[in-house]
A and B are shown apart, each in its own frame.
Chain A
Amino acid sequence: MPTRQESIDFILDHYEHPRHRGVLTDASLVLQGGNPGCGDVLTFYLRLGADGRVAAVAFEGEGCTISQAAASVMTDKVLGLTLAELTTMDQEALIDELGREVVSTRIRCATLALNLLKTAEPQFRSRGRNGAAGPAPDAPPA
């Protein structure tokens, strides 16, 4: 288990040097969500490849350090997963990775990105039913 300081260093590294921060103009799916506790807001962009797996990801957002760092952490995890696999991602594992001692009083901030990504599959299916506009994926999600 990481020490409290190691957890803080890990979170601050992702906050100060976020991975995949930006916009995907050719996203297959755009996810937006927020957290009323801290005013955190996130937008995730996912582009699906021909095999139905996440081929590219980006995020942008504003809010507290933990919410934005956790979003950065999640971007590395989702690459190569199907939308169905996103729904099975483990919240407890993420909390452990971020540092349970540090984020225990800000669980909603820590899991905002994860829970938003879990909505990808139902949102994708809903969009398909509703015929909403947006770039089509190369293939349906697995």
Chain B
Amino acid sequence: MSTPYARPEALVDTQWVADHLNDPKVRIVESDEDILLYDQGHIPGAVMIDWVQDLNDRVRRDYLGREGFEALLSSKGIANDTTVVFYGDKNNWWACYAFWVFQLFGHTQARIMNGGRKKWIDEGRPLSREAPVYPKTAYQAQERADYKIRAFRDQVLAHVLARGPLVDVRSAKEYTGELLHMEQYPQEGALRGGHIPGAKSIPWAKAVNDDGTFKSVEELKQLYEAENGLRPDQNIIAYCRIGERSSHTWFVLTYLLGYPNVRNYDGSWTEWGNLVGAPIEK
């Protein structure tokens, strides 16, 4: 019998979603890297939230503000007491990213569907091309709280100088500086390669099984604690290239292992690798 996740309420399986397709208190949200996957077929009743169009500020590199978040959720028929279940492609990268942004605004009634879009399809579950329209709500959000689960570059630099624990979740070749982006991806986006000094290399994908579901608590503790020395009492910063893969690791550490102080540095390597004078290790 495997140990239960620290906060098991944050994760649901595909059967749970299938059982709640018509639950008015549940809104299923697809978030993908590929913007048109949703249009090729999605979980019946699901709405789409796009990380570029919906979650990012359209001018500056930042997230939408409180009013924008309220308008977005209201337009998707999400109320303050709605349970939002995220799923998506790429082993839920963007689902975790959207989940993380929702936490910036305090929407704690949020879940990730374990295994994401691929598992739902692999199980032969139904897909729909119909984009549902729900009655508009009057969602009220708190101001975006950047201080608790988000890290900025100056905070990261102070963290480095204090020898605080950092987790680099990119691939091994990105960590060493051999590549500026994942294998098979065009090598753009940063002028320098390497990693933030002191960061442990723990690629995000080590936290998932072949079917995209998360590994067990025992396996995750072996990875993060036994092999890499992380502890739940630490103040940890995770980063990748633009913050999407590290939001996946942030979810794992925070919700599956129960670490209370993990922040996602969404500036990540596309900021750090371009910063003049920033310390880099190879």
Q: Is the A/B pair a real complex?
A: yes
* Chain A residues, CB < 8 A from B52: 105-106
Q: A105-B52, A106-B52 are in contact. Are A65 and B186 (CB under 8 A)?
A: no
Interface pick from B28-36, B99-107, B231-239: B28-36
The A contact surface, by secondary structure, is mixed
Interface pick from B158-166, B177-185, B273-281: B177-185
A139 adjacent to chain B (CB < 8 Å):
no
A50 adjacent to chain B (CB < 8 Å):
no
A-B contact count (CB 8 A): 44
How many residues of chain B are within 8 Å of chain A by beta carbon? Answer: 18
| Complex: A105 Cα to B54 Cα, angstroms | 10
* Chain B residues, CB < 8 A from A11: 36
Contact A105 B50 (CB under 8 A): yes
Of the residues B33, B39, B187, contact of A8 by C-beta under 8 Å: B39
A87-129, CB < 8 A from B: 102, 105-106
Chain A contact patch, size range: 10 to 19
B3 adjacent to chain A (CB < 8 Å):
no
Contact A35 B186 (CB under 8 A): yes
Query: Using a CB–CB distance below 8 Å, which chain A residues touch chain B?
Result: 8, 11-12, 15, 33-36, 38-39, 41, 62, 64-66, 102, 105-106
- Further 12 A-B residue pairs, CB within 8 A, beyond A12-B39, A105-B53: A15-B36, A34-B185, A35-B186, A36-B181, A36-B187, A38-B33, A39-B182, A64-B36, A65-B34, A65-B37, A66-B36, A106-B35
